[in-house]
């Protein structure tokens, strides 16, 4: 979206082909959001390829190779933006903590109960943040909702009791559609929309989510990276 907006502002969009290669069969895991994005991609004339998993990149020849249901596909590019595979750090991946089997095992995510965030094999341990092997929740917003749950169970455990707090999988994804406009998409494990601002339609482009992303969240992320938040 940002590339599309920059090209339009520069007056060169009509000379450019913009292609988005999705690794899965959808653009977004939440159905209503996926439908909205498909509409926006069509509106912006962004070509979409599904089930394209990047396997090789050749910077010299400007060729990207993707594995697809019909076999390898090579695509040439002038400018490319890549999202690398995500996995747990070696210290965790090589420890006893990750899932031993299932969808989170291959990348070394910690084996925690998705509601209590307590480790399923080491009950005196809890996980918070990206390292957790849960269906959703790899955002700073998720950490904000996960932390009180872990604190509740830790305090209860210290007192010889059982905690009652539950993490519902809340996560937040500000989707920038152009400079000055964005959608603030919030949802849980069940892909239910959980908007924090009832007066803002999460599937409508608006200036306020842009301000939240650009002026508030960016500063928060920077502070977190520096250990200040």
pLDDT in tens, the chain (229 residues): 999 999 999 999 999 999 999 999 999 999 999 999 999 999 999 999 999 999 999 999 999 999 999 999 999 999 999 988 889 999 999 999 999 999 999 999 999 999 999 999 999 999 999 999 999 878 888 998 999 999 999 999 999 999 999 999 999 988 999 999 999 999 999 999 999 888 889 999 999 999 988 888 888 888 878 888 6
Residue 140 has what pLDDT?
83
Strands, E, within the chain: which ranges?
Answer: 19-21, 47-49, 53-58, 63-68, 71-76, 171-178, 181-187
Query: In this structure, what DSSP letter does residue 86 have?
Result: P
Q: Give the helix ranges, DSSP H, for the chain.
A: 2-10, 31-43, 90-93, 140-158, 207-211, 218-225
Q: Is 222 left (phi over 0), alpha (psi -120 to 50) or beta?
A: alpha
Residue 220 has what pLDDT?
83
**C-alpha–C-alpha distance, residues 197 and 214, integer Å:** 17
112 neighbors 126 (Cβ within 8 angstroms): yes
Residue 52 has what pLDDT?
97
- Which tokens is 35 given? 């439908």
Angle subtended at Cα 107 by Cα 104 and Cα 111, rounded to the nearest 5 degrees? 45
**C-alpha–C-alpha distance, residues 157 and 155, integer Å:** 5
81-121 confidence digits (pLDDT tens): 998 888 999 999 999 999 999 999 999 999 999 999 999 99
**C-alpha–C-alpha distance, residues 119 and 109, integer Å:** 11
Residue 49 has what pLDDT?
97
Q: Give the helix ranges, DSSP H, for 12-114.
A: 31-43, 90-93
Strand partners, 178: 181
Q: Nearest Cα to 133, choosing from 165, 110, 151, 156? A: 110
Q: Which residues contact 94 (CB under 8 A, 6 or more apart)?
A: 108
**C-alpha–C-alpha distance, residues 226 and 220, integer Å:** 10
**C-alpha–C-alpha distance, residues 153 and 182, integer Å:** 36
């Amino acid at each position: 979206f940002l590339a599309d907006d920059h090209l339009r502002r520069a007056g060169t969009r009509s000379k450019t082909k913009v292609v988005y290669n999705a690794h899965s069969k959808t653009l977004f895991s939440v159905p209503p959001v996926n439908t909205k994005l498909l509409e926006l991609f069509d509106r912006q004339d962004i070509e979409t390829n599904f089930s394209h998993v990047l396997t090789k990149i050749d910077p010299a020849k400007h060729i990207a190779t993707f594995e697809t249901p019909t076999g390898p596909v090579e695509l040439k590019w002038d400018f490319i933006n890549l999202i690398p595979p995500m996995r747990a750090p070696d210290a965790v991946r090589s420890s006893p903590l990750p899932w031993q089997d299932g969808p989170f095992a291959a990348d070394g995510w910690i084996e925690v109960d998705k509601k209590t965030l307590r480790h399923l094999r080491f009950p005196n341990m809890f996980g918070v943040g990206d390292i957790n092997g849960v269906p959703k929740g790899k955002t700073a917003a998720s950490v904000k909702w996960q932390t009180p749950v872990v604190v509740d169970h830790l305090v209860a455990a210290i007192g010889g009791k059982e905690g009652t707090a539950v993490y519902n999988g809340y996560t937040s994804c500000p989707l920038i559609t152009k400079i000055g406009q964005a959608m603030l998409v919030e949802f849980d494990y069940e892909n239910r929309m959980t908007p924090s601002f009832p007066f803002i339609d999460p599937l409508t482009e608006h200036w306020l989510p842009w301000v939240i992303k650009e002026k508030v969240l960016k500063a928060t992320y920077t502070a977190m990276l520096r250990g200040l938040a």
